[in-house]
Amino acid sequence: MIYEHLLAPLDGFLATVEAFRASGGRGANVTLPFKLEACRYAHQLTERARQAGAVNTLTFDGERIFGDNTDGVGLCRDIVDNLKVPIAGAHILLIGAGGAARGVLGPLLSAGAHLVAIANRTTARADELAKHFSALGPVSVICPGEMPAQRFDILINATSASIAGELPPVPAACIHPGALAYDMMYGKGETPFMALAASAGARTADGLGMLVEQAAEAFFVWRGVRPATDAVVAQMRNA
């Protein structure tokens, strides 16, 4: 098996994937900004991809194209298995209402979260997301400017603020000692969100473990084998 990266032009996702298929490609991971296009491209979607409205894993079987989304299960496995923080029964604050939040909200609810509260600068988008997933479990919407000093067990930054070195819309009053502050972004050092959370006494984690776990799930989709991830996460941390 050969696994390589392909750089598609912003207006050339379809042509790039079609050329890959024609060359014998059997599957592909898809990253930003093409996950919505990948969802439209697939002939058949898994339930988790349908819920997310986005695809990050494509499988090619003859003329059929299957779309899946492994982001949410990757996040949940990193939190529960690697960080040893239970999601079942947890009060969770999900910051952001874009594609990243949409991809993980369903799995968080399915994992038994007691409540997922969505905070987004545009409350209309958060309301839309809450309605879409309300059948899976309790979801609420919090206006960042009126966010109460509520105790959350897990706070997840699903915005792109960290890429620009900015803070997401979360008041420090919502971060309590002992909580897990999880930034889905990753890079060198702490993100601003992680630094804020650490100063409030919270435990912090970036999204590197999620990256590894969603890749392991994609490998399982393609090959029927789920790789062990501990050594991979450790190797990437050390690098």
Shortest CA distance to 209 belongs to which of 235, 179, 170?
Answer: 235
**Which is it for strands 64-68 and 57-61: parallel, antiparallel or unpaired?**
antiparallel
State the Cα–Cα distance between residues 105 and 208, nearest whole angstrom.
19
Q: Is 188 a catalytic residue?
A: no
State the Cα–Cα distance between residues 232 and 140, nearest whole angstrom.
36
**Spatial CB neighbours of 80, under 8 Å, sequence gap ≥ 6:** 86, 87, 111
**Spatial CB neighbours of 25, under 8 Å, sequence gap ≥ 6:** 17, 60
Give catalytic residue positions: 35
